[in-house]
Structures are given as structure tokens and as C-alpha cells.
Amino acid sequence: MARYCSLNGKILPQQEASLGLTDLAVLRGYGIFDFFLFKYGRPMLEEQYLERFYNSAEKMHLFPPLAREELSRHIRELIAANGEDMGAIRLVLTGGYTPDGYSPSEPNLIVLQHGWPNYPESYFTEGVGLISHHFQREWPEVKAINYLTGIKLLPEIRKAGALEVLYHYNGVLRESVRSNVFLINDREELITPDSDILFGITRDSVIKAATGLLPIITREVQMEEVFNAREVFLTGSNKSAMPVVRIDGRPVGDGKVGYWAKTLKGKLEEYREAYYQRAEV
């Protein structure tokens, strides 16, 4: 665990940081967050993550106490204070101390540092399982802190030996609770939903990394297509491209990690590493 965190632009020991009980994040679960990796002491794809964070804040009528450029510098100061070369950053913007238990006010900005995500290697070599659930997030383009449905389903997920839950709505694929979803069909086309989802930064990176390798299609995706796909994989900041080999106990394709999941994971890592080289130019 990192020694230091940040609260409203002040770096302090994490065990000394506190949030008042009347914050709307505590009372009503109102707030936003974002999460991204850093390497070589520098945030990965920082511009895109901060753009999404500030867009989410604007949509929620929350105004961060630090401007974007100030927050960028502050994140680097926190990374330096903790002395870690690589890891992850979580930004949280709360609804603020509410005067009536319901109305947002001046938000609190929290910056937390986590270790570099280390999923078991077997998740990538053997794949993971999902369970499906009929659900549409209320405000999909906003990265809100409310994960009620996914957390509520944790007992079912664990009972099924799965990693996450896959959301669909009226038979149409949406996203996983913490990831975007791609599939490869029998024509070797890369397909991912194009609406009513959170547009992940890693999703965008995979699309860019896959350009020229195979056809890329963004459109409405029926769940029947998912169950009949040759391959399915998840994408996220801490998951890279993670292959899915079963959904609701049914095998995806031949039930093994496919060629494209492995290939696109490698291409994604190359794209991410090239970001630091581009940033240095």
C-alpha cells in the first residue's frame, strides 16, 4: 500500500486522510472516479483519462478543486512522494458535504495510489468465465462510483467460478461491470458495442492497435452473437485484453484462449509502451 494519498490538493499520509460523514458519496453514492496505470513514474494515456474524468464531472455538475493541468502536476507529485516507478492511480470526486442530505455541493477530490495490477497468469493463458445479467447502467457515459449491481452479484459470480458479470439489455450486449467487451466472429471480424456503454480508454487503444490487422466493427451486438462467437475478451486499464472462455457455464468457441485474444493483448502492450516513446518526443 502506498504511504501517501491526496485530499483536495494536499498530499498526506494515507492513514491520516479522512472524509466527513455528510459527504454525498457516503450518504447517496454520488460521485465519479477514474483509474489508470503509470509507468516510469508517468501516467499512461493521461490526456485521455483526464478528459474522461473532467467530462464525467461536468455531466454530474461537479467542479473539481484542481484544474486539469494542476491535477496532472499533482498526480506526478504524489507518485514521486510514494517513490514507486509503476502502479495505478485512482481519482475520486465526491458529491461534497451536502447541506440537506441530497443536494451536491463543493466536491472533495481524492487521489489514491495502488500497486501495479497483477492478475494470475492463468487468466490470460487459460481464460476466465463470466455470468450474464439483464441490466442497463443508468448513466453509462459517466464513470460513477455506484457499482451496486455488480457488487450485489458477487455471491453468484463466485459460485459460478467466474470473474465478472456481463451486462445485456433486452438481448443486446452492453459491457462487463468493470470492462468493455470485444468478440471475434467466424469471419474474423473484431466487434464491440457502440452505444449505451462507458467508452473505455483501453477499448479505444485496442481498436487503434488492431487497425490493419482485421476488420473492426462497432455496432449493436446481440447476445446470440456473443454465445456463438469464436472468441470473446474483456478490456480495461488493469486487465489489458483478457480472454473469456465461458459465459454462464457455456464454452466460448472451443473453450480455449484464441489466437486473436493473445495477439491483440501483445499489440495493446506494444501500443501502450509506444505511448511513452511518443510522449518523450
Give the Cα-Cα-Cα angle 37, 39, 43 (nearest 5 degrees): 55
Kindly state the DSSP code that residue 163 receives in the 8-state scheme. S
Angle between helices 259-280 and 201-210 (to 10 degrees): 100
CATH 3.20.10.10 domain range(s) in the chain: 122-275
Domain 4-114, CATH: 3.30.470.10
- Going residue by residue through the chain, which has 281 residues, state the pLDDT in tens, using 9 for 90 and above: 789 999 999 999 999 999 999 999 999 999 999 999 999 999 999 999 999 999 999 999 999 999 999 999 999 999 999 999 999 999 999 999 999 999 999 999 999 999 999 999 999 999 999 999 999 999 999 999 999 999 999 999 999 999 999 999 999 999 999 999 999 999 999 999 999 999 999 999 999 999 999 999 999 999 999 999 999 999 999 999 999 999 999 999 999 999 999 999 999 999 999 998 876 54
What is the rounded distance in angstroms from the CA atom of residue 232 to the CA atom of residue 230?
A: 7
pTM: 0.95
Phi, psi of 5, rounded to the nearest 5 degrees: -135, -175
Residues 88 and 78: beta-carbon distance below 8 Å: no
Name 40's Cβ contacts closer than 8 Å, sequence gap at least 6.
85, 86, 276
Domain 122-275, CATH: 3.20.10.10
Phi, psi of 116, rounded to the nearest 5 degrees: -60, 130
CATH 3.30.470.10 domain range(s) in the chain: 4-114
